[in-house]
């Protein structure tokens, strides 16, 4: 079956390889790298986590990325249509299913970014400064002294996050307005800025007294992790999300590349940039945690939204600037990921229907904005501490649990089975190797056909086991 004839002018094309690498790494680097990685790494014991994580990168992350990139360039179509062209209608169905999960994930992803934006503005206003009563009295009741946690809960209980969510959606849509052209313009600024801000935070973190203890904790290899199955499970699930796999994003982005692009090279670059960023974010966060003896037990949300800010409040100088820098970083990193999530869906709608870009964007944005607003409604969010210091964010947790815990991983499983068995791993590999400097060996087939599906199936069954 051939792809439907949608070579609409509204399909894009990257102006250079650099533009693509910036966009794809901007997609991969996001909340996953800052918010979720650090809390996973902490939960699974620092040095015990990163060996399994490293293995997950090579065994699953890079091979699946090669597959998702190459089906994009091979067909010149986004996810559902690319799968349809290669494995028929079943493939298309899986593609739309994955984009449905992408829509739900975008809803809460943007909600989190809205909170981060509120915290960014609040930090700039002096919220984290010692002794500050903050300029927010008209909206928030003042507390005694800096207490990021109290302020965060107060912000959650106002309408401000809804306004922030609208601002984040507006930025995202603006960046998508002219497709690859405006995406490239955005990532050329945002991605280098992200790295710069991260480096500033690391330098601050490791020069704090006691900061290097955190780095030791993160990097001292601890082989005990290898024998703990939940560490492996954590590493493999985190890897999938962090590399933006299984949600149609990477295929859509790759479909704007020339057919002869080297996807082995691209995949190595993007995933190594992503994991590199993740480790340096880990250094920045762990050095702060250890310098101030903060305990990040609890959710990843609490870690970023009040444990770290609490640490920043204790900085000897420039509290405002660092507080701003931390949340600015989260917003930058998150918006470039949200852009890619929305582009994956919009480009699929364009390919399927030939609709103009503005219409396709509206089809995604209308339900997306509504969902994000619902997720931040003050009466839906439960601003209070649950057991072990976790924040009760019910709607968001439900979305995360289903969209991430099941849907995403199940799509990944079916996708690898379809590509590995129905289309054929050898077939895919032959196409990739035509344009690759580093040739894929038969190991690629073994991973795609057996190892990766087995791992994903194990994680899914395990999640079910825990739930039932």
Residue 30 in the binding site for ligand PHE (CB under 6 A): yes
Is 340 near ligand PHE (CB under 6 A)?
yes
Applying CB under 6 A, does 341 fall inside the site for ligand PHE?
yes
Largest alpha-carbon pair distance within the chain? 67
For the purposes of burial, counting CB atoms within 10 Å of the CB of 467, is it exposed (0-12), middle (13-18) or buried (19 or more)?
A: exposed
Task: For residue 31, state whether it binds ligand PHE (rule: CB under 6 A).
Answer: yes
Q: Provide the minimum distance between the beta carbon of 187 and ligand PHE in the complex, in angstroms, as a whole number.
A: 13
Specify whether the CB–CB gap between 264 and 436 falls below 8 A.
Answer: yes
Say if CB 323 and CB 125 are below 8 A apart.
no
Q: Measured from the CB atom, is 142 or 276 closer to ligand PHE? A: 276
Told to check if 241 binds ligand PHE by CB under 6 A, we report: yes
d(CA 437, CA 335): 33
Site for ligand PHE in 246-275 (CB under 6 A): 247, 249
Which residue in 78, 180, 244, 266 binds ligand PHE (CB under 6 A)?
A: 244
Stretch that binds ligand PHE, among 153-161, 185-193, 240-248, 449-457 (CB under 6 A): 240-248
Piece of 30-38, 65-73, 192-200, 321-329 that binds ligand PHE (CB under 6 A): 30-38
Lookup: tokens for 411: 């799509």
Q: What angle do CA 246, 247, 253 make, to 5 degrees?
A: 105
Select from 31-39, 128-136, 188-196, 370-378 the region that touches ligand PHE (CB under 6 A).
Answer: 31-39
Is residue 33 involved in binding ligand PHE (CB under 6 A)?
yes
Q: How far is the CB of 252 from ligand PHE (least distance, A)?
A: 10
Asked if residues 46 and 217 have their Cβ atoms less than 8 Å apart, the reply is yes
Q: Which is nearer to ligand PHE, 118 or 250 (CB)?
A: 250
Question: Least CB distance from residue 24 to ligand PHE, whole Å?
Answer: 10
Q: Which is nearer to ligand PHE, 81 or 403 (CB)?
A: 403
Stretch that binds ligand PHE, among 4-12, 127-135, 241-249, 412-420 (CB under 6 A): 241-249
392 backbone dihedrals φ, ψ, rounded to 5°: -85, 110
Q: Give the interface size with ligand PHE as a residue count (CB under 6 A).
A: 14
Query: What DSSP string runs through 208-277?
Result: STTHHHHHHHHHS--GGGGG-HHHHHHHHHHHHHHTT-SSSHHHHHHTTS-TT--HHHHHHHHHHHHHHH
Question: Which CB atom, from 134 or from 275, has the smaller least distance to ligand PHE?
Answer: 275
Distance CA 138, CA 128 (A): 17
* C-alpha–C-alpha distance, residues 207 and 152, integer Å: 27
Q: Which is nearer to ligand PHE, 312 or 332 (CB)?
A: 332
Cβ–Cβ < 8 Å for 317, 324: no
Which of the ranges 50-58, 238-246, 259-267, 432-440 carries the binding residues for ligand PHE, by CB under 6 A? 238-246
**CA–CA gap between residue 442 and residue 455 (Å, rounded):** 19
- Strand, helix or coil at 163? helix
With CB under 6 A as the contact rule, the residue among 6, 70, 337, 410 that binds ligand PHE is 337
Q: Which stretch binds ligand PHE (CB under 6 A): 59-67, 206-214, 237-245, 306-314?
A: 237-245
- Least distance in Å: CB of 186 to ligand PHE? 15
Query: Which residue stretch of 26-34, 61-69, 76-84, 433-441 sits at the interface with ligand PHE (rule: CB under 6 A)?
Result: 26-34
Considering the complex, what minimum distance in angstroms separates the CB of residue 13 from ligand PHE? 21
337 or 407: CB nearest ligand PHE: 337
Indicate the residue among 247 and 448 with the shorter CB distance to ligand PHE. Answer: 247
* Count of other CB atoms within 10 angstroms of residue 458: 14
Q: Are strands 382-385 and 391-392 parallel, antiparallel or unpaired?
A: antiparallel
Could you say which of 22, 23, 24, 27 contacts ligand PHE (CB under 6 A)?
A: 27
> Least distance (Å) from ligand PHE to the CB of residue 231?
19
Cβ neighbours of residue 364 under 8 Å, at least 6 residues apart? 103, 106, 342, 345, 346, 349
d(CA 240, CA 260): 26
- Binding residues for ligand PHE, rule: CB under 6 A, are 27-28, 30-33, 241-242, 244, 247, 249, 337, 340-341
């Amino acid at each position: 079956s051939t792809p439907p004839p949608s070579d609409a002018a509204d399909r894009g094309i990257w102006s250079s390889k650099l533009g693509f690498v910036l966009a794809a790494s901007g997609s991969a680097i996001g909340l996953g790298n800052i918010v979720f990685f650090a809390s996973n790494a902490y939960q699974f014991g620092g040095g015990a986590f990163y060996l399994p994580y490293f293995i997950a990168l090579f065994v699953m992350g890079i091979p699946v990325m090669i597959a998702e990139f190459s089906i994009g360039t091979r067909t010149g179509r986004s996810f559902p249509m690319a799968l349809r062209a290669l494995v028929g209608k079943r493939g298309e169905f899986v593609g739309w299913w994955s984009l449905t999960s992408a829509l739900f994930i975008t809803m809460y992803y943007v909600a989190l970014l809205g909170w981060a934006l509120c915290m960014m503005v609040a930090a700039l206003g002096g919220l984290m400064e010692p002794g500050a009563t903050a300029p927010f009295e008209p909206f928030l009741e003042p507390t005694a002294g800096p207490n990021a946690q109290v302020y965060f809960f107060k912000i959650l209980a106002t309408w401000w996050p809804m306004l922030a969510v609208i601002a984040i959606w507006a930025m995202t849509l603006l960046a998508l307005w002219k497709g690859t052209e405006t995406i490239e313009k955005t990532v050329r600024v945002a991605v280098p800025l992200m790295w710069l801000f991260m480096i500033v935070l690391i330098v601050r973190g490791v020069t704090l007294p006691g900061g290097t203890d955190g780095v030791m904790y993160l990097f001292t290899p601890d082989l005990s992790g290898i024998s703990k199955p939940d560490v492996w499970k954590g590493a493999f699930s985190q890897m999938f999300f962090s590399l933006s796999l299984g949600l149609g994003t990477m295929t859509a982005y790759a479909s704007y590349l020339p057919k002869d692009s080297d996807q082995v090279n691209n995949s190595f670059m993007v995933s190594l940039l992503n994991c590199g960023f993740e480790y340096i974010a880990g250094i920045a966060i762990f050095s702060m945690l250890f310098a101030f003896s903060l305990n990040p037990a609890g959710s990843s949300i609490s870690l970023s939204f009040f444990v770290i800010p609490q640490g920043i409040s204790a900085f000897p100088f420039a509290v405002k600037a660092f507080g701003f820098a931390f949340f600015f970083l989260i917003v930058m990193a998150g918006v470039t990921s949200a852009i890619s999530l929305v582009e994956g869906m919009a480009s699929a709608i364009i390919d399927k229907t030939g609709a103009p870009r503005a219409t396709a964007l509206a089809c995604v944005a209308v339900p997306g904005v509504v969902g994000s607003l619902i997720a931040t409604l003050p009466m839906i969010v439960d601003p209070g501490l649950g057991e072990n210091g976790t924040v009760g964010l019910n709607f968001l947790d439900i979305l995360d649990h289903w969209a991430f815990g099941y849907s995403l991983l199940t799509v990944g499983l079916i996708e690898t089975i379809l590509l590995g068995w129905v289309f054929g791993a050898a077939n895919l590999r032959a196409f990739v190797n035509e344009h690759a400097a580093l040739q894929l060996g038969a190991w690629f087939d073994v991973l795609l056909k057996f190892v990766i599906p087995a791992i994903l199936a194990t994680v899914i069954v395990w999640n079910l086991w825990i739930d039932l």
